[in-house]
Structure 1
Amino acid sequence: MKKRMILPLIVIMLFTIIASACGNDASNNATSNSNQETAADTTSTGAAQEETTDTITYQSETGPVEIPAKPERIVALSNGPNILSMDVTPVGVDEWTAANPLFQDKLKDVAIVTDSDPESIAALNPDLIIAGSTAKNLEQLSKIAPTIVYTWGKLDYLDQQLEIGKVLNKEAEAQAWIDDFTKRAEDIGNEIKAKYGDNVTVSTIEIFEKEVFVMGDHWARGTEALYQAMKLNMPEQVKNDTLQEGYHSLSLEVLSEYMGDFVVVSRDMTRDNEIMKSTIWSNIPSVQNKHVIELETKAVTYSDPTTLEYVLNIFKEAFLGTTK
C-alpha cells in the first residue's frame, strides 16, 4: 500500500518541478525580451541624440542656417583670418588671406579659391562656406554646402570674432580672448596717455602709390586697436571726414591738416614712396618729431585676433619702448 502511494507522489512532484521550470523559462524569456527592447530603445534614443548634435542652427544675418556642429572642411571666402586665429585651418581661402604674411605658414597646403569659380569650391568637398555679402554666386554656393554670409562692418571687430567662435563651436575661447585683449589694450592706452597726455592724437593713413587715405576707427590697419580698444584720440578733422565711409581720400596739399601728434602709416614696405620723400611730408610736425609708425599693408588689412595682437605689440613698442 505504501509503495502504491509513493508512485503517485513521485509523479506529482515531477510534474510540479517541470511546471515550475517552464514558468521560470517563460519568465526569463520575458525579462530577456524586455531587456532587449529597453536596450534597443536606449540605442535608438542615443542614435537620435547623436544625430541631433551633428548640426546646429546658426542665426545668421540672412536667417537661420543649419551648419555642422563641428565643421571640418571650411571654405573661407571671407573671414579667413578670424578662423585661422582660432587654430582652425580652412580647406580654401581667398587670395587676400593667402597673401597675408601673418598666415602664410598656416596656409601652405590650403587652396586659393574665388566666388567666381564655384566648381573649384565644390571640388574641395566643403561642409561649410563663409562668404561676404557682396560675393558672387551665393545661391550656387549654398547648394554646395551650408553658407554663412557676413556684411563687412555690420558687426564690430569683437562681435565678429564672437560669431566666428559660435560657428566653430569655440564661443568660450572667443569670449576669453575678447575679455583679455580689450583689458590689455586699454591698459596700454592708459600708459600712452600718462606719457604723452590725455589729449594726444594719432592719425592712421594708408599710402598707395601716389594716393593717400586717412582711416576712421574701424577700417583695419590697426584702427580698432588704436581708437576702440586703446581709446586714443584721432584729430577732429579725421573724425569728421571719416564718419560716413570709414576712410577719406586726401590730396597731398591738405595732408598736414589731418596729421595728429603721431601718425601710423600703412604702406608697401618693399617699395620706396615718393610721398614720404616729399617736402610736404618732411614738414609735418609728427614726422619731424619722429612720431611715425610704419605698418606693412598686406599684414594689417584685417581685424582678427592675430592681426590685432600683432599691431598691439608694434604700438606698445613704438609709443612706450617696451615689448610684450
Structure 2
Amino acid sequence: MKTGRRSLTLLLVVILTLVVAACGNNKNAASPSATGSASPSASESSTPSPSSEPEATTKKIKDGLDREVEIPTKPEKIVVLGNMGEVLSLGIKPIATNDYYLSKYGTDRLAGVQSIGGDEPDMEKILALQPDLIIIPSYFKPEVLDALHKIAPTIATKWGLLPLEHLSVIAGWLGKEAEEQAWLAQYAEKAAKTKETLKPFNLEGEKAIVLQFWSKAIYQHATTVFTPLFQDIGFVPTEAQAAVKETAAITEEAVVDYAAEAERIFILVDGQADIDTYNALKSTAWKNVPAVKNDKVVLVDSARWNDYSTAAMEWMLEDLVKLIK
C-alpha cells in the first residue's frame, strides 16, 4: 500500500508539472515581448515594399493662351518659333527654328539648327523633323497653331510678359528650374561687373530716355523693355520716359520736349539709313536738345536691343561697355 501511495503521489506531481508548463507556454504565446511587438520578425521585415510607379513621361500645363496642353516631361526634339532667348538661356538647343532667329542668333549659338522657313512656318519641314514639342508666341494665327498642334504638342508663350517672367514660365514647363537659377546668377554677376567697368563714367543717377527709329518712324518704349539700363546700371528715367507704359509713335517735333530733361539718349537704329536720319536731325530739329548738344546720344543696334529677351539683356550690357564714352 505504501508503494501504491508513493506511485500515486509521483503521478500527481508529474501531472501538476505538465499543467503548469502548459499554462506558461500559453501566456508567452499570448503576450509577446516589447521588442517583438515593436519590430516584425526577420521574415516580415524582409518582405519587399510595393514597387514605385514608373516616372511619368508626360504632364499637363496651361500655356499662354490658357489652353491645357499635354507635353513630354523631358522633350528632346523642340522646334522653337518664339522666345528663343529664354530657351537658349535655359541651356536648350532646338532642332529647328525660323530664319529670323537663325539670322539674329547666328551659327555660334544655333549651329546645326535647321530652318523651317520665314514668317510662315513650313509644315512639311516641321513634320519631317518629327519634333516632340513646338514653342510659339501667342500671337500666331489660330489656324497656324492648329496645324502645328497636329504635328506635335504646341505651347504658346504669353505675349507681353517680361523676359524674366518668360524665363520662369518656360523653365517650369520644361523642368529647367535649376538652369533658370544658374542663368540668373551668372546674369547678376555680369551686370555687376559691367556696372563696375562703367563706374568711371558716373552713369548711376544720370537721366535717360530711349527712342527707336523703325520703318521711317520714331517710337518710345516703356522702361521695362530696358531693365539693364534702368535697374542694373542705374540710369534714371526722366519723368516723361517713366510715364510711357507701352510702345507708341512720337513725332520728330515732340521729341524736343520729350527729351528736354534727358542727360543721355539711347536710340535704336537699323542700318545706315537710320544713322543718316539722326545725323540730319541733330543739326536741324534736335540741335538744341541738351543730350544732342552735349554729344550724349548713343546709337545702338536695334536687332540686339529690341529682341525683348534674356539674350537682349546680356547684349545691352555688352554694348554699353563698347559704346559709352
**Letter in structure 1 aligned against 2:159:** W
**Letter in structure 2 aligned against 1:159:** E
Task: Name the residue aligned to 1:107.
Answer: 110
- Residue aligned with 1:205, SS: strand
TM-score (norm 2): 0.71
Deviation at 1:189, TM superposition (A): 5.9
TM-score (norm 1): 0.71
Distance 2:232 2:166 in 1: 15
Deviation at 1:275, TM superposition (A): 3.4
**Letter in structure 2 aligned against 1:307:** A
Deviation at 1:212, TM superposition (A): 0.9
TM-superposition CA deviations, 1:211-252 (whole Å, max 9, x none):
111111233xxx122234445322222232x22xx2221111
**Letter in structure 1 aligned against 2:101:** T
- Residue aligned with 1:218, SS: helix
Determine if the alignment matches structure 1 residue 304 to structure 2 residue 315: no
Mark the runs of 5 or more structure 2 residues left unpaired by the alignment.
1-46
Task: Name the residue aligned to 1:149.
Answer: 156
Determine if the alignment matches structure 1 residue 293 to structure 2 residue 295: no
- Residue aligned with 2:159, SS: coil
The answer to whether the 8 Å contact 2:304/2:316 transfers is no
Mark the runs of 5 or more structure 1 residues left unpaired by the alignment.
1-37
Task: Name the residue aligned to 2:178.
Answer: 172
TM-superposition CA deviations, 1:170-221 (whole Å, max 9, x none):
21121232244346537866997996476421111111253111111233xx
- Percent identity of paired positions between Structure 1 and Structure 2: 26
Over 3 Å counting, the alpha-carbon distance change for 1:214 and 1:122 in structure 2 is same
Determine if the alignment matches structure 1 residue 122 to structure 2 residue 130: no
The equivalences for 1:88-107 within 5 A come to 88-100=92-104, 102-107=105-110
Aligned partner of 2:267 among 265, 268, 275: 265
**Letter in structure 2 aligned against 1:257:** D
Task: Name the residue aligned to 2:19.
Answer: none
Over 3 Å counting, the alpha-carbon distance change for 1:204 and 1:282 in structure 2 is same
Over 3 Å counting, the alpha-carbon distance change for 1:214 and 1:111 in structure 2 is same
Deviation at 1:160, TM superposition (A): 0.9
Over 3 Å counting, the alpha-carbon distance change for 1:70 and 1:252 in structure 2 is same
Distance 2:192 2:162 in 1: 17
Task: Name the residue aligned to 1:239.
Answer: 242
- Residue aligned with 2:129, SS: coil
Over 3 Å counting, the alpha-carbon distance change for 1:188 and 1:79 in structure 2 is same
Distance 2:192 2:165 in 1: 18
How many residue pairs were aligned? Answer: 269
Determine if the alignment matches structure 1 residue 80 to structure 2 residue 90: no
The answer to whether the 8 Å contact 1:193/1:199 transfers is no
**Letter in structure 1 aligned against 2:165:** D
Aligned partner of 2:320 among 309, 315, 322: 315
Over 3 Å counting, the alpha-carbon distance change for 1:145 and 1:178 in structure 2 is same
**Letter in structure 2 aligned against 1:69:** T
Distance 2:315 2:288 in 1: 30
**Letter in structure 2 aligned against 1:296:** D
